[in-house]
A and B are shown apart, each in its own frame.
Chain A
């Protein structure tokens, strides 16, 4: 017969020589495995490789005359020193209160910020707008990581008012005497 014998053809009897019936099915398991592996790879590399962006707003430095008048008991200054350490105080640089050397981390500077926040809330119980203001003063010996870390602490502790300010010579002295400059 001329036509291709695709059906089983088992019903016919006779001494015809038949080639052995071979299945047309291919085992696709390995192929599917490979395809899903590649899908996983491309999915993870496209979406997870996107870096995070932390927004930072700096004060406009053209209006230098405008000086912020904040009560000493709600302004906290954090000095970033060397060796991943910080120093913080409340009030003015000429008359620092609670001058403390501290480390980064949940039990150190973050706890201090939370404590001061509570204290300010106690001092101004009827005015929620008067909350803690933090001045971040990175010294020349601090690293970019310290800056990002302290900005991250602002996010974690939910401090709304903070600014990055240039460090004063008297504060550098203070860092030097604490051995972190």
Chain B
């Protein structure tokens, strides 16, 4: 009795093309990804149902948490001009190396007179929580005012208006937030963003 023979097929699939595509995509994502630095001021953001994303470019972020205020702007080349402008307000000059070092910082929080030693410090030490005391914003030394206004000028010179975003900590008490908002309003910045984490919208 003749038996029907089922042809034996190999179960192995040619993975070469798949592998090519996978690595092509991988390369793309690695190159487009931007390395994120450790935030010197850890901020636990409150959540909201807002869907709008924060833009990547021309944003100045003011972080408020633990009673301290930190600031950072986007764009490395803008940061160099920013430091120079603020330094000029307080009679402080910065070397090219210091400006370069500063331009690599996502955000910082030191008084301007401590800026030289801060930039000379070890990056690991800088990232330690508590090392940076925050930008002073009391009525005597309102440095934050100058940092904000010069950030807006520097971004404007680079071509665009700057959007200010406030990134506050959940537990931060309101008076400090109010002070920051008042500083912004003094400069006629009445329109700004609050950075939040995502939360599901309630069902209607």
Residues of A in contact with B (beta carbons under 8 Å apart): 25, 27-29, 31-32, 35-36, 38-39, 42-43, 45-46, 49-62, 80, 106, 138-149, 151-152, 155-156, 164
Contacts and interface: CB of A to CB of B under 8 A. Distances in A.
A52 B191 contact: no
B191 A151 contact: no
Contacts of A143: 170-174
B194 A148 contact: yes
18 contacts: A27-B15, A32-B18, A32-B19, A35-B25, A49-B36, A51-B45, A52-B53, A52-B54, A53-B196, A56-B191, A80-B174, A142-B173, A144-B64, A144-B169, A148-B46, A148-B168, A148-B194, A156-B201
Interface of B: 12, 15-16, 18-19, 22-23, 25-26, 29-30, 32-34, 36, 45-46, 48-56, 64, 165, 167-175, 177-178, 181, 184-185, 188, 190-199, 201-202
Contact of B190 (A57, A138, A139): A57
A40 B49 CA distance: 25
B195 A52 contact: yes
A58 B185 contact: yes
B177 A59 contact: no
B173 A31 contact: no
Contacts of B55: 53
A32 B15 contact: yes
A43 B29 CA distance: 7
Q: Which 4 A-B pairs have the closest CB atoms?
A: A42-B29, A28-B15, A35-B22, A144-B168
A62 B186 CA distance: 9
A106 B202 contact: yes
Contacts of A53: 50, 52-55, 165, 193-196
A46 B32 CA distance: 8
A130 to B, nearest CB: 24
A55 B15 contact: no
A46 B29 contact: yes
Given A29-B15, A80-B174, A52 B169 contact: no
B53 to A, nearest CB: 5
Given A52-B48, A58-B181, A156 B202 contact: yes
